[in-house]
């Protein structure tokens, strides 16, 4: 039984996700699908990369990945897959596979014609993964490349008395996930965001309803939140907004 994790920006209103799964099932029927999310912000490769990186740490190492966040669909951008320790990762060549590229053999997917100019998830990515899972040799699905595109999330800057970071993801609750990792945050630190100073709390319930706080979240990152509310709306926040931790 093969395990396939899916990430996309397709949403769930249209049948796109189900159609991709059906294409995989044309090649191999013994598949367990895990839908990690289909609500990556539209066209946002960096957000998809953040979700992929987090998912890698939380899923067992027998999962294969199909990731379709593809603002370049229909263009000359390549379709690729990476092979790593018997696992396959299939996605557009736009940097979203960066966390696994350095330790993988990477292939450009070839031979899937004709295809639409708007739905490569159906016409290229899903069939490619289906073939690979069915035992088709990687060299029959693509050709080795050495120059896949890589994209890196911004890293926090550590100084003597402060850590400077930024918001890199906003979840459905409006929580602002930063790039500042748990090891850079200590009890008693002050977090400055949008000219407001916040204490680092242990739980959302440590403040009154509707009030903002800082917390270390399940991503193991510093998060700006509002209890039972949206920090995105409260602060008028967006990805890229600066955050400072004062030591």
Q: What is the pLDDT of residues 65-103, one digit of tens each?
A: 999 999 999 999 999 999 999 999 999 999 999 999 999
User: In the structure encoding, which two tokens stand for residue 234, read together?
Assistant: 């409260």
* CA–CA gap between residue 37 and residue 42 (Å, rounded): 12
**All domains of the chain, ordered by start, with CATH?**
2-145 (3.40.50.10790), 157-246 (2.40.30.90)
**Which of the two residues, 239 and 188, has the higher pLDDT score?**
239
* CA–CA gap between residue 168 and residue 180 (Å, rounded): 10
End-to-end CA distance of the chain: 49
pTM: 0.94
What integer is the mean pLDDT of 185-209? 94
User: In the structure encoding, which two tokens stand for residue 203, read together?
Assistant: 């739980």
* CA–CA gap between residue 93 and residue 114 (Å, rounded): 19
* Bridging pattern class, strands 63-68 and 79-84: unpaired
Determine what percent of the chain is predicted with pLDDT higher than 90. Answer: 96
Q: What is the pLDDT of residues 144-178, one digit of tens each?
A: 999 999 999 999 999 989 999 999 999 999 999 99
* CA–CA gap between residue 69 and residue 41 (Å, rounded): 9
Q: Which ranges constitute the DSSP H helices of 30-125?
A: 45-58, 98-101, 120
Calculate the dihedral angle through the C-alpha atoms of 223, 227, 232, 238, rounding to the nearest 10 degrees. -10
Which whole-number Å values give the CA distances from 227 to 116, 161, 181, 232, in the listed order?
Answer: 45, 28, 21, 12
Cα angle 48, 109, 97 (rounded to 5 degrees) comes to: 25
Q: Which of 132, 108, 115, 117 is nearest to 28 (CA)?
A: 132
Determine what percent of the chain is predicted with pLDDT higher than 70. Answer: 100
Q: Which of 101, 105, 30, 43 is nearest to 69 (CA)?
A: 43
Q: What is the pLDDT at residue 82?
A: 98
Q: Quote the DSSP letter at residue 229.
A: B
User: In the structure encoding, which two tokens stand for residue 166, read together?
Assistant: 């930024």
Q: What is the pLDDT at residue 186?
A: 87
Q: What is the pLDDT at residue 12?
A: 95
Helical packing angle, 16-25 and 126-133, nearest 10°:
30
- On whether the CB atoms of residues 8 and 111 are closer than 8 A, the answer is no
Q: Is 53 helix (H, G, I), strand (E, B) or coil?
A: helix
* CA–CA gap between residue 74 and residue 71 (Å, rounded): 9
- On whether the CB atoms of residues 156 and 221 are closer than 8 A, the answer is no
Q: What is the pLDDT of residues 43-69, one digit of tens each?
A: 999 999 999 999 999 999 999 999 999
User: In the structure encoding, which two tokens stand for residue 62, read together?
Assistant: 């027998």
């Amino acid at each position: 039984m093969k395990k396939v994790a899916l990430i996309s920006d397709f949403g769930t209103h249209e049948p796109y996700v189900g159609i991709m799964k059906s294409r995989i099932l044309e090649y191999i029927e013994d598949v367990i699908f895990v839908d990690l999310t289909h609500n990556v912000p539209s066209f946002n490769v960096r957000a998809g990369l953040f979700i992929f990186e987090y998912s890698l740490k939380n899923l067992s190492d027998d999962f294969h990945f199909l990731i379709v966040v593809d603002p370049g669909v229909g263009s000359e951008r390549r379709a690729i897959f990476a092979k790593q320790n018997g696992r396959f990762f299939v996605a557009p060549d736009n940097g979203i596979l960066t966390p696994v590229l350095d330790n993988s053999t990477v292939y450009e997917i070839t031979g899937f014609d004709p295809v639409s100019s708007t739905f490569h998830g159906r016409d290229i990515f899903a069939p490619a993964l289906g073939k690979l899972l069915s035992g088709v040799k990687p060299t029959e699905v693509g050709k080795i490349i050495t120059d896949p595109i890589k994209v890196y999330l911004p890293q926090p800057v550590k100084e003597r008395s402060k850590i400077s970071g930024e918001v890199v993801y906003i979840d459905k609750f409006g929580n602002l996930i930063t790039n500042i990792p748990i090891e850079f945050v200590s009890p008693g630190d002050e977090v400055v965001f949008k000219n407001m100073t916040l204490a680092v709390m242990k739980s959302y319930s440590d403040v009154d309803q509707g009030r903002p706080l800082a917390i270390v979240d399940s991503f193991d990152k510093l998060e700006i939140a509002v209890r039972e509310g949206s920090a995105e709306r409260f602060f008028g926040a967006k990805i890229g907004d600066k955050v400072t931790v004062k030591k």
